[in-house]
């Protein structure tokens, strides 16, 4: 794109605004020299990088960078063997700190969730830090002229000796100037420095009274600055140490320069990346100020700018416009009153397309679409501005001649007041001819005009669209809104009448209009009314669509919330089941160990062993049951002082209901039945149970030959007791039934065999009194017959 056309569009004002946001002068210079992208793909990438940087800038703010300049010149000199000055090394150090700041900013915790596809990754990953070198530089160099004592051990030692020697000289000279025999020869009792040596001010008339070397004379000649003989040798020693100090400083600078040289070429790559980041951040800051967005880039030569604002106008006052070209029509004729916004619309389209071509986000809706034109050819005139048109006919023609030479299918042509400044009839004919020529060459065209002939041309010509800038007849002010599809009206008669022009003058003017002009104005009025109705309907449709989208988004959010909640509850349940599974397993292993220990006790009878085994099993099963319960432990409660047999109470330590089986013994222990588990607990751990809302009469235990006939039998539902003693079989059966109840089974199978019926009788006796048993029966044919007892559980 040619510079003069971009200048007419005021593109360089935008560039300068962005350049002011750069931290590094070199980045600002690069931005001022920005060039449009070569193709749509490059344009997409440039816009994506600016958009990603803008999103990150809005989220995190900008990184803390130091302004650096001409760093590469110093680095390249170091690479050639040169020794850098302290000022140059500090510049390198600040640059290295910039590298660190950029990497820290890019990898900040708040920015880890990326939606840009990592488009900036390559840029930031090319920045190589050297924190050790930057820290050493700033630890060693205090300013552009001062090296720190700690820069090296040798430098520290030299400076320590210098301070010691200077202190010795000062002590001698202070003693001398305070001596009564010397004071009369001195102009002042002070010690000063001349040519790097300590001297005292001696009166000129006593120059022979104080032995030493004269280093300076006052301007009046009355005072001689003499280095006393007593300190000449010490002063010489200090000068020697000063020389060693400078040599050591040069050595340190040489070491640092070598370290800087060793960083090449990585430093050069990192420095280039830093400038590119600075440039992108400048674009991002401008985008944030303009409330700009990233448009979509198309491959053809058409664009659609929605809610577009001119970036140089106040964004709070600028009226957004919609401008489309290149799809349904390739030419737009904009008409309307003066200062109504025609030129602003023209410049807005050209400027925003130029900005997008150079990687700038544009102040328009993100639904906008842009394309890459090889050039944007502009005829707005040397003195044309947004507020006022001052171009002449000759100036227009000169520009049009050049435009016709350069126009092609990949160019956008913007023509302001086409054909103006000459005879209206000839100007209108010339304007139509220019547009037809440009269309033959494939250009996209936007032109503003006052000529009615161009309005008719747009109505009659396929691919040419009328557009008008609206005007408020009540306030007599332009609205600056662009209405596509309807040509603008001059409204001269209405405006004249509103401003007080006599009615007879208006009527006479109307009579001078031809019948064709009158019909044309009437049709324009009807078209404008129709356009407004369509616009209102479209706005209502857009409002309804927006409301529907919001409702859909809310529904999706609620659905996702419920899904997440369900997943969390399922995960919690799985964790709880896993914990319970582990608890049951641990309890089972402990129970087995206690059972084995019990069986080894020879001093207990079989009945005592059985009773003890039952107590162990019930205790451990109760512990597992407590883990299953949903009721929490009751921490604050009023304990019962007495209970009755059959009374329903609550076991406060586990929060579960139980039934009292026996009154408290002498130790205050009460036997209760909790579910299928019978155990003894302290009376003080029981509390009154709440009265149930609906009491149901208990169902009597009964036997049924067909109970639960439809239950599918599985191995987990049966236990083989054959080969055990009656006591062992009863104990195993009770444990199996308790476990089945906890597992939620409704039916189990006790395999005891036929034999003499000893096991069957012992088991049936136990089943009659077991509270967990609803009913039981012997098996039918195919179920094991008399060798199996089928138990239905509560």
- Provide the CATH number for the domain around residue 674: 2.30.30.140
Same domain, 40 and 78: yes
Number of domain units in the chain: 6
Angle ∠(716,722,726) on CA atoms, nearest 5: 110
pLDDT of res. 490: 62
Domain closes at, from 440, 468, 501: 501
> Are residues 678 and 726 both part of a single domain?
no
CA distances from 386 to 14, 65, 313, 704 (A): 15, 37, 10, 101
SS (H, E, C) 604-627: CCHHHHHHHHHHHHHHHHHHHHHH
pTM: 0.61
Residue 384: its pLDDT value, please? 42
Task: Give the model's pLDDT for residue 612.
Answer: 56
Tell me if 173 sits within 8 A of 200, measured CB to CB.
yes
Report which DSSP code applies to 472: E
Q: Which residues of the chain have pLDDT under 50?
A: 382-391, 607, 627-633, 693-707
Domain for residue 360, yes or no?
A: yes
The answer to whether 228 is annotated as binding is no
The closest alpha carbon to 165, from 213, 228, 232, 225, belongs to 232
Residue 265 annotated in ligand binding: no
Q: In what order do the strands lie in the sheet with 648-651?
A: 677-682, 669-674, 656-660, 648-651, 686-688
What pLDDT is attached to residue 631? 47
Is 693 annotated as belonging to a binding site?
no
161 is in an annotated binding site: no
750 and 724 fall within a common domain: yes
Same domain, yes or no, for 454 and 540? no
Q: Using CB atoms within 10 A of its CB, is residue 135 exposed (0-12), middle (13-18) or buried (19+)?
A: middle
Cis peptide leading into 451, omega within 30 of 0?
Answer: no
Neighbours of 153 (CB within 10 A): 10
Looking at the structure, tell me whether residues 530 and 381 fall in a common domain.
no
State the residue range of the domain holding 391: 296-501
Q: Are residues 101 and 167 in the same domain?
A: no
Query: Does a structural domain hold residue 146?
Result: no
Q: Does one domain contain both 13 and 90?
A: yes
> Does any domain span residue 612?
no
Indicate whether 274 and 395 sit together in one domain.
no
On whether 337 is known to bind a ligand per the annotation, the reply is yes
* Dihedral angle computed from the Cα positions of residues 436, 339, 321 and 489, in that order, rounded to the nearest 10 degrees: -60
> Is residue 506 one of the residues assigned to a domain?
no
Written as one string, the DSSP assignment of 49-104 is HHHHHHHHHHHH---------SHHHHHHHHHTTPPPPHHHHHHHHHHHHHHHHHHH
338 annotated as ligand-binding: yes
Q: Is 784 annotated among the ligand-binding residues?
A: no
Please indicate, yes or no, if residue 347 is contained in any of the structural domains.
yes
Domain annotation covers residue 62: yes
DSSP 337-383: STTSSHHHHHHHHHHHHHHHHTT--BSS-TT-EE---SEEEEE--TT
Query: Can you tell me whether residue 700 is helix, strand or coil?
Result: coil
> 54 a known binding residue?
no
DSSP code of residue 109: G
Residue 579 forms part of a structural domain? yes
H/E segment holding residue 790: strand 788-793
Residue range 22-43, pLDDT digits in tens: 999 999 999 999 999 989 999 9
**pLDDT for 95:** 95
Identify which of 436, 433, 384, 408 has the alpha carbon closest to the alpha carbon of residue 4.
384
Give residues with Cβ within 8 angstroms of 495, minimum separation 6: 337, 473, 476
| Residue 249 and residue 267 in one domain | no
- Within this chain, do residues 103 and 246 fall inside the same structural domain, yes or no? no
The reported pLDDT for the residue numbered 700 is 40
Q: In this predicted structure, what is the pLDDT of residue 554?
A: 84
> Is there a domain that residue 594 lies in?
no
Residues 352 and 496 placed together within one structural domain of the fold: yes
The pLDDT, as a whole number, for residue 190 is 80
Does residue 669 sit in the same domain as residue 715? no
């Amino acid at each position: 794109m040619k510079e003069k056309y971009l200048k007419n569009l005021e593109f360089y004002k935008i560039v300068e605004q962005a350049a002011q946001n750069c931290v590094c002068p070199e980045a600002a210079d690069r931005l001022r020299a920005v060039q449009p992208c070569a193709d749509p793909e490059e344009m997409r990438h440039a816009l994506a990088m600016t958009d990603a940087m803008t999103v990150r800038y809005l989220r995190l703010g900008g990184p803390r960078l130091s302004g650096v300049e001409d760093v590469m010149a110093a680095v390249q000199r170091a690479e050639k063997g040169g020794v850098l000055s302290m000022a140059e090394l500090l510049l390198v150090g600040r640059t290295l700190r910039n590298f660190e700041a950029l990497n820290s900013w890019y990898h900040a915790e708040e920015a880890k969730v990326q939606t840009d596809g990592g488009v900036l990754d390559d840029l930031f990953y090319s920045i190589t830090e050297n924190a050790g070198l930057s820290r050493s530089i700033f630890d060693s160099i205090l300013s552009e002229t001062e090296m720190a004592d700690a820069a090296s051990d040798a430098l520290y030692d030299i400076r320590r000796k210098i301070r010691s020697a200077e202190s010795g000289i000062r002590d001698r000279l202070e003693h001398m100037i305070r001596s009564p025999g010397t004071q009369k020869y001195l102009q002042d009792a002070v010690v000063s420095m001349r040519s790097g040596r300590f001297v005292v001010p001696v009166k000129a008339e006593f120059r022979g009274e104080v032995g030493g070397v004269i280093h300076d004379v006052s301007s009046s000649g009355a005072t001689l600055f003499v280095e006393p003989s007593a300190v000449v040798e010490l002063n010489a020693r200090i000068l020697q140490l000063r020389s060693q100090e400078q040599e050591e400083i040069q050595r340190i600078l040489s070491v640092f320069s070598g370290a800087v040289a060793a960083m090449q070429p990585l430093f050069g790559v990192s420095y280039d990346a830093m400038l590119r980041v600075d440039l992108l951040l400048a674009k991002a800051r401008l985008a944030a100020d303009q409330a700009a967005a990233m448009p979509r880039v198309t491959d053809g030569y058409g664009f659609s700018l929605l809610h577009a604002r001119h970036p140089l106008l106040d964004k709070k006052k600028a009226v957004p416009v919609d401008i489309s070209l290149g799809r349904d029509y390739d030419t737009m004729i904009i008409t309307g009153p003066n200062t109504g916004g025609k030129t602003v619309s023209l410049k807005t389209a050209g400027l925003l397309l130029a900005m997008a071509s150079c990687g700038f986000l544009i102040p328009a809706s993100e639904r906008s679409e842009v394309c890459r034109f090889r050039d944007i050819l502009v005829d707005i005139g040397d003195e044309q501005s947004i507020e006022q048109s001052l171009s002449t006919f000759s100036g227009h023609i000169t520009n049009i001649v050049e435009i016709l030479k350069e126009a092609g299918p990949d160019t956008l042509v913007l023509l302001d007041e086409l054909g103006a400044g000459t005879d209206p009839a000839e100007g209108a004919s010339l304007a139509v001819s220019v547009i037809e020529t440009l269309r033959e060459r494939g250009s996209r065209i936007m032109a503003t005009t006052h000529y009615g002939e161009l309005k008719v041309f747009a109505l009659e010509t396929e691919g040419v669209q009328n557009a008008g800038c609206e005007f408020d007849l009540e306030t007599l002010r332009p609205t600056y809104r662009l209405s596509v599809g309807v040509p603008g009206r001059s409204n001269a008669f209405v405006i004249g009448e509103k401003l007080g022009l006599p009615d007879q003058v208006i009527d006479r003017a109307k009579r001078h209009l031809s019948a064709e002009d009158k019909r044309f104005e009437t049709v324009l009025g009807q078209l404008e009314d129709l356009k407004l109705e369509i616009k209102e309907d479209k706005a209502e449709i857009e409002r309804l669509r927006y409301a529907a989208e919001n409702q859909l988004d809310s529904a999706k959010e609620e659905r996702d919330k419920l899904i997440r909640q369900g997943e969390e509850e399922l995960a919690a349940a799985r964790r709880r089941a896993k914990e319970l599974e582990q608890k049951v397993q641990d309890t089972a292993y402990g129970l087995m160990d206690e059972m084995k220990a019990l069986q080894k006790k020879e001093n207990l009878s079989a009945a005592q062993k059985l009773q003890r085994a039952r107590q162990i099993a019930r205790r451990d099963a109760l512990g597992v049951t407590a883990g299953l319960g949903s009721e929490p432990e009751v921490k604050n409660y009023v304990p019962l002082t007495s209970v009755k047999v059959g009374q329903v109470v609550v076991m406060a330590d586990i929060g579960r209901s139980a039934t009292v089986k026996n009154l408290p013994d002498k130790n205050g222990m009460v036997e209760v039945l909790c579910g299928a588990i019978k155990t003894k607990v302290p009376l003080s751990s029981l509390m009154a149970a709440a009265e149930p809302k609906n009491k149901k009469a208990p169902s009597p235990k009964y036997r049924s030959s067909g109970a639960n006939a439809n239950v599918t039998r599985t191995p987990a539902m049966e236990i083989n007791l054959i080969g055990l003693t009656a006591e062992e079989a009863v104990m195993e059966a009770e444990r199996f039934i308790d476990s089945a109840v906890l597992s939620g089974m409704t039916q189990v199978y006790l395999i005891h065999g036929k034999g003499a019926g000893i096991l069957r009788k012992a088991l049936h006796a136990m089943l009659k009194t077991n509270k967990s048993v609803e009913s039981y029966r012997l098996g039918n044919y195919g179920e094991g017959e008399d060798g199996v007892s089928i138990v239905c559980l509560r």
